[in-house]
Structures are given as C-alpha cells and as structure tokens.
C-alpha cells in the first residue's frame, strides 16, 4: 500500500493529522503486517538516527494524582513550545473486554491547540504490562512529537514494561499510601528514574512521605534518584522542578544505548508474550535470543527485531 | 390533644421560574405572585450559573434556556422591578456564582433604598452536589468551599435573615441516591461546610451560623418512606448540632428545609400521570407536622418533555393551594406521633445514614470523598435503571399499563411545552456589549483587581470586593473570570471509571457477543465517544450510557460535561472512535448538535452521531434531517435496547456484519 509509505512520511514530517490514522492502523488486529511496515518508516534507520522525542513514562496507583500532574506538565511543555502526545492506558474489564477510557478527561488541554494529542487506549486482554500496540503507538508518535508520554495505572509491575519503552520513568505516589514504599523495600519494584510525591499541600504527611522514599531509595543503593514533591490541587506547585528533573535525567542518558537496549528488551518481551517459553526454548533460551538480537542491525525497529527472532525459530 | 388551637400557617409557595430575559422573567414573577404564590424562586440560565457572559464561547446555545440570563446589576434591577424586596422571600438556585448573584441582589436592594438587614431569601450555594450531580461548578473544590464559608461568615451579621446556603439532598436523589445515601451525603456536606466556617467566625456567633444552615430536599413517589427520611434528617441534624458543634438552643437546632419534589420519576410516556405523582410527593413533605417543609415548589407535569409553560406551572401551584387551603392538613398536630411504622422507618434510615456518614468521614469528609460518593451514586442509579428495565420497579405508563389514549394535553400548536426564542441569545450578546461600553471602565478594572487580590488571600472575605465589583458594573463573566484566573479550573470526577461492573444477565451477554462480532469485523474493539456539549451538567444519562457500553464490551471515551463542539470533534478524531453519542437536557440541542456535526465534518471524521436527552418531537425530525443517525428521549428507558441499536449502527456505517 502506497499510503503506508505516505503515512510514514507524514509522521516523519511531523504532520499531526497523520497520528490518529497511524494509531488506528496500529490498533487493528488484522493489520499487523501493515503496522510493522509503517513502523519501519519511522525506525532509526528511516529517521537517520534516534527519534528526537523525549519518551516519558508516568505511572502510579489510581488516585495518586497523575492526571492533575500531567495537566500541569503538559501546560508547561506547551509554554516552552514543545509538542506533546499523551498515550493514556486504562485497564480493560476482564469480563466484558470493554474499558472506560476516563483519564483523558482529566488532562486539561486546549482542543484548538495542534501541539497536543491525547489518545486513550485500553490495556486489552493482557494482564498487567504494556500491550504491543501501545509500544508501537509510542514509537510512531516519537517521530512526530517532541514529548511522548505513556501514562499507565498500577504499581509494581507495569513500570518495568514502561521502562522498556521510555527514556525516563516517573512513578507517582501520594502520601500515606505505603505501597510504593513497601514495593521499593521488598525489591518488587524496579527503581524509577524520578519519584513524584503528589498532594504536597497535605504538608506534614507529604514531607514525611518524601523523606521515607528517599531513605528507601538510599537503602536500595539508589540514593541519587530524585524525589520531587508537587501539590495536587490547582494551582499546582513544584512542576517546574519536576520538568527540570525529567529533562536532566534525559540529558544524563546515553540515549542511543538506552534506546537500543529498550528495543531489544521490548522485542524479547513481545516475542515471549506471543510465543511463550516454548518459543524462547526453540531459539535456544533467553541468553541465546539476546545474543541473536545483539547481532542485528542496531538501527531497525522493534518489529524488525521480532521478525528476526521469528525467522530463527 | 388532637387539634391545634390555631390552624398552622402554610409553607412558602414558590414556582421555580425564569427564562429568556430579565424583562420577561420579571413579567412572569409578577403574574405568579398575582396568582397567589408567596415567594420567588429564580431559575438562572447555565451561563449565569457557571460564570460566563452571553458572548463567551461556552454560552452558545444556552443563553436564556433553562433560566434567566443575568450579566450585571442592570439585569438584576430589571428582574426585580416593582417587587418589594423588603417583603419578598427570594430563593435563588445559584451555586458556583452564588456570592456574585447575592451581591447583585444586595446592590439592587441598596440602590432601591432597602436595608440589607431586611432581605430574606436563600442562595442554594451547595457546591458538593454540583460536583456529584448537577454540574454547574466553576472552581476547584477547596476555593469553592472557601467562597461558601465567606458568604456564611458575611451574611450571619450583615444579612441575618438570609439563608446563605441550602444544602441539597434534592440532586442526589435525582442522580440515583437511595434515601440512606441522600441523608448521609447531604449531612456530610453540611458538616464539611460548617467545619470550614467555624474558624472564620467568633465562637459566640457559631450557634447562629448553625441555625442559618437550611436544606433543599427531594421527595419521591414512595411518600411514606420519604416522610420518614425527613424525620430522620431532623433527628440526625439535632444530634450533629449538639454533639459535634455544642449548639444547645432548640430553635437553632431545628432542621429547616425547602422542597422540590422528584423530577427523576416523571415520565415522558402518558405525561398526564405525572400530576398525580406530584400530588403524592407533595403529601410526603407536608403530611407530618414534625417534619413539614417550610417552602415548597412543585415541578410541572411536562418536565420530561421540555420546558414548562406558565399554565403548566400554574397547575402545580394550584396543587399547593388546594393542599394548604382546602384540605384539613394544617388543622392537626403531628399525625405520625406514636406510629410504629413511622418510628421503625426512621430508626432504620438513621442507622443506615450513620454508617454511610462514617464511611465518608473516614475518607476525609465530604470534599475528599466526592469521587467515592459519585461512584456510589452512579452504581445506585444503574441499579434503578436495571430494575425498571427488568420490570422489578413498576412505572405506570412506562414499563406497565403502556396502552393508552393519546394525551389531549399535547395537542396544542406548541406541543405542550414552552419554546424559548433563539433570537434571545443575540439580543443578550448585544446588550452585554452595550453595557460594557457605557460603564466606567476604570472603576470596573480597579474593582476586579481588588477582587483578584482578595481571592488570592484566603484570609480575606470575598464578599466586600464582590459587592464593590457588582456596584461598579462588572459582569458575571468578569467576576468568575477573575476568580478562575486565581483559583484555576476544575473538572469533577465522572464516577464511571470506578463503577463496578454490572451483574451479567442474558441481555448483556447477548449484547457482548454482538459487540465482539462487530469488533472483529472492524479489526479494533468498538470505540464510542460519549459527549456532553454545552453547559448542561445533568450527566446521569451520559454516565449510564458510558457504563453500560463498557459492560457491553466497548471501549468508551467519556470526558465529562461542558465540552465545546470543537473539543468533541477533535476527541472523536484523535481517539479514532466508531460512533459519537451526545447527551443534552438543557434544550440547547437545536444549536449545539448541528454545531458538533459541522465540526466533525470539518475535522474529517466519518462517524455516525446519536443524540439522547429531552428532545421535543418536532426537534427530533429536524435533528435527523441535519444528519443525526438516531435520537433517544426519556421514553427510550431501556438502555440495553439503545446499546444494541448503537452496535447495529456502527456495523452498518462501517459496513461490517453485526449478525453472523
């Protein structure tokens, strides 16, 4: 289809109107090959380098104040002239398969502003973790926007997958909810790049939460991870500091290395989700699969890497 | 003693009224008073209620629709022209902008030489129920609560006969609340308000503050239980006054309330039956002297059809007059004293409400518990809808005894409803521009600067600066705009995301299979955008559709209320939805729906649009002609059937098979 190359070109040229169409295609179950072809159009090889977008993961338990936080962050990024795409992932009902995609409602934005796009997606049938179309959507949007946010609900599991896709992962917690602290201590949770404590307007409780988290991080040997406090009620305070911290993290990265590692991790994860452990065994096990991926062209996208694994199966 | 030595005085009789312009509404009020109404109840239009001027974008289609448009003190002068403010008892259904409308009322009184201290009336001013049900909020929760506390602290000495806040259980019932939820959530709201006023007034003033809190209650068709509910509220209110706040003056502990009886139960089918429902509901709040309403307003028989005409409202006023002046209702002491049934019902409700209030308190009080309460209401409402659909709850004319003669009440040329002239809006837009051109601009700017400064300092009472802005000639949109700039904007939780899944029944399972099939055909899961254009905040219908669509297996995008047509169109495209469902109850469908269709077309979205709401039959044809695929009105009470219809429409439009 000529239109796939055309769609890819429009994304590369940062044509906002190409984004919804690309996302519809990526979400279509019957068009996996078309999706792969489209993603090849925005791979590092096609772009001539890594996609310029900053891929930011924002994750945390329900009610932690992610949307209020994102509203303020989006507004700040827009003031700085950066274009923003938000992928809001909501859990699907196990019984009906349907989902209420509510979070976009809470992200305040100007509908006339072409520099912002919000797309809500359902997590789908998968339990926890990130569905392949969400990763693909992020890859497609990364060609067309300056900042791409993946917002997920949960704590303890989903942020690992988000880390496979994003440059910077911020975990959002509210004071007096001990789960993040417990998960950190127990080593269940991957250490995030930035920890955000919301509802700083709660005063004492927020200060305590911030201190406790800093201690838990230090105990986990990650004392350098920044903990930022923001208020949850408008007008939100602490946002400049948070945005600065997120930018600083990105600057500290060897982006090429992180993205490459992320692509390989995503390929392996999605291959395993599709083919199971038996699929992995057919490749000679996880280590062998990792070696295989390391031998592939570093500039191809995740779908091409998965195809390479499939070819050796 | 089974007779009163002297017959009781009747309650204050009002009709919730107002539409179009201040001049037309003033005429209506004078006519209503001449018919024997004893107080005024002012209905404001949605722009006035949410703090926008007629010429602002969100006001489009809403000016003068569900109430009167008031943009400045000049409009208020016109509205109250010839009405003796020192004698009148005026209730204003105004919440987010209550401080502003009270200031306009006070300014008009002062400019007519009436003392503040003589003013009597009520500002509704309960913001929690706006977040939960009615949707005309303007600012985030805490600044909104501060405005309420400021008004109470100000009026308790300055306008001592004014009820600065009318805590509403009314809209909770409309949103689906059970009697226990209605009691628990409204009393929890009262506590949240009182807790915020306490630090703002001297200790010795506080009991009087408690005494000024009044309630606005609903009364449904189960009128015995509804009467028990009011007695239960009275008992709990006294308990709260004594226990939590140390009030010991019996007079100040009295539970004072006004009533509008239930609109939720009024049907579009056989609408003449509604008058009977209204009579019985009115009995529920007047029968027992121990818990009799102090003020009453009754809806009109045709509220599920559209806006009531003066004749419809007169019919409802006559119900009150017959009850008060013809029957022997007011001759006796409390007729339920010693009734085992009544006492038992009251005990039950008190106990249930105490438990639910404890849950709200545990969540940090009514403000923090808004998401919790909202979710519970959405669930209760869904249960009610389910019971009606399943025939477990009988609604005569709707799900039982549906065969009927055509109603002669709807035979007239107007179809039995009031139509607001759409030209009103243009007139209001020009009028407000003319007002701005003629006033002392520098004085207005100074007043608004001072208002912003007062808003930014939570220690300062907002009323003096608000009164100064009113006197200077500022507009509703300017007052609210200054506060929005300081307080920020806010979108209330929709409650739908957290609502528990529905119990499976065969209809739902069958529907789910169809959704699955169509989704397979589409390649993606069926995705629907449920949208509420305009300023109308009555979101129950939209919420029920959203939850049911999720339960049927669709991906649902629901952004809550108050969306511009442009935003709806952009969301439809960005989200890649297969169908758009719009809900409007404010009568602005003829303006807003075509606007959405135009925006969708401009955005290149090829999706069918369905519309639900209070849509008169004549307008239905016009909407279908304009390109709307389906129109649903209150007579389509079976949500499952609507869902099935929508799935079919999606299949048809996108050319996939719905049936295998």
Using CB atoms, pick whichever of A63, A96, A105 lies closest to residue B559: A105
Chain B residues touching A99 at Cβ < 8 A: 550, 555-556
Mind listing the pLDDT tens digit for each residue in B250-263? 999 999 999 999 88
Q: Do B515 and A98 touch (CB under 8 A)?
A: yes
What's the CA gap between A56 and A62, in Å, rounded?
18
What does B241-283 look like in DSSP terms, one character per residue? Answer: HHHTT----HHHH---EEEE--STT--SSSGGGHHHHHHHHHH
* Contact between A184 and A216 (Cβ < 8 Å): yes
Residue tagged 């003829």 (tokens): B590
H or E element that contains A170: strand A168-173
Q: Do A120 and B557 touch (CB under 8 A)?
A: yes
What's the CA gap between A125 and A91, in Å, rounded?
9
- Confidence category of residue B238, pLDDT binned at 50, 70, 90: very high
Over residues B69-77, mean pLDDT: 98
- What CATH number was assigned to the domain covering residues A50-253? 3.40.50.300
Using CB atoms, pick whichever of A23, A119, A233 lies closest to residue B142: A233
What is the ipTM, given to two decimal places? 0.90
B523 in reach of chain A (CB within 8 A): yes
Over residues B596-618, mean pLDDT: 93
Over residues B275-286, mean pLDDT: 97
Directed axis angle between helix B141-158 and helix B98-111, to 10°?
30
Which of the following is catalytic: B16, B52, B245, B257? Answer: B16
Q: Which parts of chain A sit beneath pLDDT 50?
A: 1, 127-128
- Count of CB pairs separated by less than 8 Å, A with B: 107
pLDDT, position B83: 97
pLDDT, position A127: 46
* Contact between B530 and B546 (Cβ < 8 Å): yes
Cβ burial, residue A302 (10 Å; 0-12/13-18/19+): buried
Residue tagged 């027992």 (tokens): B288
Q: Do B564 and A235 touch (CB under 8 A)?
A: no
The pair of structure tokens assigned to A192 is 């995030």
Chain A residues touching B602 at Cβ < 8 A: none
A102 in reach of chain B (CB within 8 A): yes
CA-based nearest distance B513→chain A, Å: 10
Q: Indicate whether B122 pLDDT > 50.
A: yes
pLDDT, position B263: 84
Mind listing the pLDDT tens digit for each residue in A242-266? 999 999 999 999 999 999 999 999 9
- Residue A241, φ and ψ in degrees, nearest 5: -60, -45
Chain A residues touching B515 at Cβ < 8 A: 98
What's the CA gap between B397 and B399, in Å, rounded?
6
Residues 334 to 393 of B: which have CB under 8 A from any A CB?
A: 371
- Asked whether the bond before A235 is cis by omega within 30 degrees of 0, the reply is yes
A82 in reach of chain B (CB within 8 A): no
Closest chain B residue to the Cα of A26, Cα to Cα: B524
Residue B259's nearest CA partner among B237, B238, B278, B236 is: B278
Mean pLDDT in chain B? 94
Interior angle at CA B23, CA B18 and CA B28, nearest 5: 45
A70 in reach of chain B (CB within 8 A): no
Chain B residues touching A97 at Cβ < 8 A: 512, 516, 525, 553
Structural class in CATH, domain B506-653: alpha beta
Mind listing the pLDDT tens digit for each residue in B299-334? 999 988 888 999 999 999 999 999 999 999 999 999
- Domain range list for chain B: 90-95+123-398, 506-653
Told to judge if B532 belongs to the known catalytic residues of this protein, a careful annotator would answer yes
Cβ burial, residue B265 (10 Å; 0-12/13-18/19+): buried
Told to judge if B16 belongs to the known catalytic residues of this protein, a careful annotator would answer yes
H or E element that contains B90: strand B89-93
- What CATH number was assigned to the domain covering residues B90-95+123-398? 3.20.20.240
Distances (CA, A) of B652 to B177, B545, B578: 38, 20, 11
Which residues of chain A form CATH 3.40.50.300? 50-253
Which of the following is catalytic: B527, B538, B578, B589? Answer: B538
Mind listing the pLDDT tens digit for each residue in B537-568? 888 889 889 989 999 999 999 988 888 999 99
- Residue B405, φ and ψ in degrees, nearest 5: -70, 150
Residue B207: CA count within 13 A, CB half-sphere: 13
Which of the following is catalytic: B73, B171, B227, B589? Answer: B171
What's the CA gap between B175 and B173, in Å, rounded?
5
């Amino acid at each position: 289809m000529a239109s796939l190359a055309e769609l890819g070109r429009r994304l590369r040229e940062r044509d906002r109107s190409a984004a919804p169409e690309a996302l519809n295609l990526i979400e279509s179950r019957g068009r996996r090959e078309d999706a792969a072809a489209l993603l090849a159009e925005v791979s590092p090889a096609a772009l001539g380098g890594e996609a310029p977008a900053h891929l930011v993961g924002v994750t945390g338990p329900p009610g932690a104040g992610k949307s209020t936080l994102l509203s303020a962050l989006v507004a700040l990024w827009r003031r700085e002239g950066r274009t923003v795409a938000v992928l809001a992932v909501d859990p699907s009902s196990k019984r009906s398969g349907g989902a209420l995609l509510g979070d976009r409602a809470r992200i305040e934005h100007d509908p006339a502003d072409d520099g912002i796009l919000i797309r809500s997606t359902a997590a789908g049938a998968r339990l926890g973790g990130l569905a392949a179309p969400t990763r693909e959507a992020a890859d497609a949007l990364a060609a067309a926007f300056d900042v791409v946010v993946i917002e997920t609900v949960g704590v303890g599991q989903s942020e690992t997958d988000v880390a496979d896709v994003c440059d910077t992962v911020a975990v959002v917690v509210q004071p007096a909810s001990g789960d993040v602290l417990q998960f950190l201590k127990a080593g269940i949770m991957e250490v995030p790049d930035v920890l955000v404590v919301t509802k700083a307007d709660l005063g004492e409780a927020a200060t305590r939460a911030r201190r406790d988290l800093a201690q838990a991080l230090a105990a986990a040997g990650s004392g350098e991870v920044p903990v930022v406090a923001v208020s949850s009620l408008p007008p939100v305070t602490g946002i400049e500091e948070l945005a600065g911290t997120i930018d600083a993290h990105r600057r500290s990265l060897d982006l090429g290395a992180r993205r490459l590692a992320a692509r390989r991790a995503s390929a392996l994860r999605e291959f395993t989700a599709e083919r199971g452990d038996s699929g992995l065994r057919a490749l000679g096990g996880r280590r062998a699969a990792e070696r295989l991926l390391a031998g592939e062209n570093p500039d191809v996208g995740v779908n091409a890497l998965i195809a390479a694994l499939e070819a050796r199966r | 003693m089974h007779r009163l030595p002297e017959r009781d005085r009747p309650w204050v009789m009002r009709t919730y009224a107002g539409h179009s312009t201040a001049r037309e509404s003033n005429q209506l009020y004078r006519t209503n008073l001449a018919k024997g109404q004893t107080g005024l109840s002012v209905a404001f239009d949605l722009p006035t209620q949410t703090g926008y001027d007629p010429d602002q974008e969100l006001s489009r289609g809403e000016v003068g629709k569900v109430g009167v448009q008031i943009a400045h003190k000049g409009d208020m002068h016109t509205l109250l022209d010839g009405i003796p403010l020192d004698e009148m008892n005026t209730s204003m259904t105004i919440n987010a902008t209550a401080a502003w409308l009270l200031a306009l009322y006070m300014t008009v009184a002062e400019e007519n030489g009436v003392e503040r201290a003589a003013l009597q009336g009520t500002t509704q001013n309960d913001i929690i129920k706006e977040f939960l049900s009615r949707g005309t909020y303007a600012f985030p929760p805490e600044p909104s609560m501060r405005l309420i506390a400021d008004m109470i602290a100000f009026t308790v000495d300055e306008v001592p006969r004014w009820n600065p806040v009318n805590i509403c259980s009314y809209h909770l019932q409309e949103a689906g609340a059970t009697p226990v939820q209605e009691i628990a959530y409204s009393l929890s709201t009262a506590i949240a308000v009182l807790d915020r006023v306490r630090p703002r007034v001297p200790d010795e003033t506080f009991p009087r503050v408690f005494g000024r809190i009044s309630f606005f209650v609903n009364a449904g068709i189960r009128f015995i239980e509804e009467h028990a509910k009011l007695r239960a509220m009275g008992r709990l209110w006294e308990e709260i006054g004594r226990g939590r706040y140390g009030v010991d003056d019996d007079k100040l502990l009295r539970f004072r309330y006004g009533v509008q009886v239930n609109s939720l139960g009024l049907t579009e089918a056989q609408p003449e039956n509604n008058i009977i429902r209204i009579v019985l509901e009115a009995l529920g709040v007047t029968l027992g002297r121990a818990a009799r309403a102090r003020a009453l307003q009754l809806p009109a028989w045709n509220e599920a059809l559209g806006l009531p005409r003066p004749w419809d409202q007169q019919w409802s006023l006559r119900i009150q007059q017959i009850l008060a002046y013809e029957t022997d209702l007011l001759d006796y002491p409390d007729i339920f004293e010693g009734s085992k049934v009544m006492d038992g019902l009251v005990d039950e409700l008190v106990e249930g409400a105490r438990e639910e209030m404890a849950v709200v308190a545990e969540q940090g009080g009514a403000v923090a518990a808004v998401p919790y309460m909202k979710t519970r209401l959405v669930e209760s409402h869904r249960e009610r809808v389910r019971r009606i659909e399943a025939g477990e709850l009988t609604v005569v004319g709707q799900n039982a005894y549906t065969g009927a003669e055509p109603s002669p009440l709807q035979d007239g040329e107007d179809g039995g409803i009031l139509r607001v002239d759409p030209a009103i809006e243009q007139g209001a837009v020009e009028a407000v521009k003319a007002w701005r051109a003629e006033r002392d601009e520098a004085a207005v700017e100074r007043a608004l600067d001072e208002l912003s400064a007062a808003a930014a300092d939570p220690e300062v009472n907002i009323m003096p600066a608000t009164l100064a802005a009113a006197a200077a000639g500022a507009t509703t949109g300017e007052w609210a705009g200054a506060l929005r700039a300081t307080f920020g904007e806010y979108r209330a939780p929709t409650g739908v995301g957290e609502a528990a899944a529905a119990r499976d029944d065969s209809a739902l399972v069958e529907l789910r299979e169809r959704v699955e099939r169509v989704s397979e055909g589409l390649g993606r899961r069926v995705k629907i955008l449920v949208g509420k254009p305009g300023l109308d905040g009555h979101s129950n219908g939209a919420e029920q559709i959203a939850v049911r669509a999720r339960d049927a297996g669709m991906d649902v995008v629901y952004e809550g209320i108050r969306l511009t047509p442009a935003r709806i169109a952009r969301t439809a495209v960005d989200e890649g939805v297969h169908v758009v469902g719009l809900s409007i109850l404010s009568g602005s469908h003829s303006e807003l729906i075509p606007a959405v269709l135009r925006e969708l077309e401009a955005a290149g979205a090829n999706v069918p649009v369905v519309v639900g709401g209070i849509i008169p039959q004549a307008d239905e044809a016009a909407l279908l002609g304009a390109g709307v695929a389906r129109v649903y009105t209150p007579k389509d009470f079976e949500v499952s059937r609507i869902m099935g219809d929508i799935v079919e429409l999606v299949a048809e439009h996108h050319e996939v098979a719905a049936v295998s």
